[in-house]
Copies of this chain bind each other. A is one copy, B any other.
């Protein structure tokens, strides 16, 4: 048996998908009984040189794919919202299965598109949209049956992880590391999508929808990126034996979720401290399996192509774990998963009494100093609080105890022990 596929887009992801489907078509048929054939490929430019042999397959007209009754599966690898949204919607509405690698689309319109897929009795799959090659969504479908999963988190953006790894291991500045990432093709010319945490945020929303059955509006989650991370903060953090990682996390509670995207300090003993360069890691916590960590490449032509083909195989095998709980819209609560923070304060120049003032303040506020440094009018420390971080920072400002330049959370090894506190926290790059 043969099945015809329409491919939208022939960039990095599209090329990887094309390579894998053509080179492993025989394997796919042997394993599933169905031979996948790419019938048409939508591109913007017909004459652009391509890395793959696609003579006779290219078209600039999406309708040639979307209206083709022979095409049963559409793979969307365009990215962005429009026209990807319209194409996916039309494909689903006309009874085609859709596989997409588009995190922004799934984060912003996943609820609507899932609904359309359900109504038309077709699959909408997006394994490649989260964690690159890591087969996490498929796994979650299974795990949800036997487990109450109440935590999902991890390092889900390869570009920022590469930049942070270069900064902490090679002593590079943010600008240098970013430039290198761009030269290597890890970061786009406009890096905002990655470095400001949008990419991580979209992936977190997709993960939380899958894991918790919740729909969360994109703008309800606190997002803090790595742009503007100062070299001097990395110096302190490294010296004290921590790594800095852009961490996306969601914790389900009875009537809502806590969630955030933010740079956090990770202890050397934590496995995340060993997830470097463009690698991703996703952590799940369930009441039967305990804790999983899945580590793999976050991006790349073939890794991402692999995730798309994994979805294709599920469709060909009609692997269909039903999700009878409709996703609910739940409020996102602002909060912290830790009581331990890194802070850096710029002191008023030359005031000899500054250090004593800080120490007195910390003592009064019962803030335990785990690490600290005072030099060149800069005070940096890792502190463990008894009180609310917001209240603490407010008082710090009120009392004019220097100028707060940076504040990051320290990730606790055992997230089950987190003291989730509801408040508007101020953590991030200031």
List chain A positions with a Cβ less than 8 A from chain B: 20, 24, 27-28, 30-33, 133-135, 138-139, 142-147, 269-271, 273-275, 286-297, 300, 302-303, 305-306, 309-310, 313, 317, 319-324
> In the assembled complex, how far is the CB of residue A165 from the closest CB belonging to chain B, in whole angstroms?
11
Cα distance A249–B41 in the bound complex, in angstroms = 42
- Write 26 A-B pairs (CB below 8 A) sorted by A numbering: A24-B146, A31-B321, A31-B323, A32-B321, A33-B322, A133-B288, A133-B289, A134-B292, A139-B139, A146-B306, A269-B274, A271-B271, A271-B274, A271-B275, A273-B274, A274-B274, A286-B306, A288-B302, A289-B303, A290-B297, A290-B300, A290-B303, A292-B296, A293-B295, A294-B295, A317-B319
Cα distance A29–B177 in the bound complex, in angstroms = 51
A309 to chain B: which residues have CB within 8 Å? 145-146
What 10 A-B pairs have minimum CB-CB distances, sorted nearest first? A271-B274, A293-B295, A288-B302, A133-B289, A290-B297, A288-B306, A292-B296, A30-B324, A289-B306, A31-B145
Please name the residue on chain B nearest to A20 by beta carbon: B146
Contact between B306 and A147, CB atoms less than 8 A apart: yes
Cα distance A32–B141 in the bound complex, in angstroms = 11
Contact between B290 and A293, CB atoms less than 8 A apart: no
- State the number of copies, please: 2
Beyond A24-B145, A274-B269, A317-B321, whether A296 also contacts B306 by CB under 8 A is no
Contact between A322 and B30, CB atoms less than 8 A apart: yes
Beyond A145-B31, A274-B273, A319-B319, whether A294 also contacts B294 by CB under 8 A is yes
A296 to chain B: which residues have CB within 8 Å? 289-293
Of A27, A32, A146, the most chain B CB neighbours within 10 A belong to A146
Find A313's partner among B300, B306, B321 (CB 8 Å cutoff). Answer: B321
Find A305's partner among B24, B288, B302, B320 (CB 8 Å cutoff). Answer: B288
Find A135's partner among B31, B139, B302, B313 (CB 8 Å cutoff). Answer: B139
Contact between A20 and B288, CB atoms less than 8 A apart: yes
A135 to chain B: which residues have CB within 8 Å? 139, 142-143
Contact between B269 and A133, CB atoms less than 8 A apart: no
Contact between A292 and B295, CB atoms less than 8 A apart: yes
A320 to chain B: which residues have CB within 8 Å? 317
Cα distance A133–B147 in the bound complex, in angstroms = 12
Cα distance A321–B317 in the bound complex, in angstroms = 8
> In the assembled complex, how far is the CB of residue A33 from the closest CB belonging to chain B, in whole angstroms?
7
A144 to chain B: which residues have CB within 8 Å? 27, 31
Cα distance A146–B23 in the bound complex, in angstroms = 9
A297 to chain B: which residues have CB within 8 Å? 289-291
Please name the residue on chain B nearest to A287 by beta carbon: B302
Given contacts A24-B146, A317-B319, 8 further A-B contacts (CB under 8 A): A133-B289, A135-B142, A142-B310, A145-B309, A146-B310, A289-B297, A294-B295, A295-B295
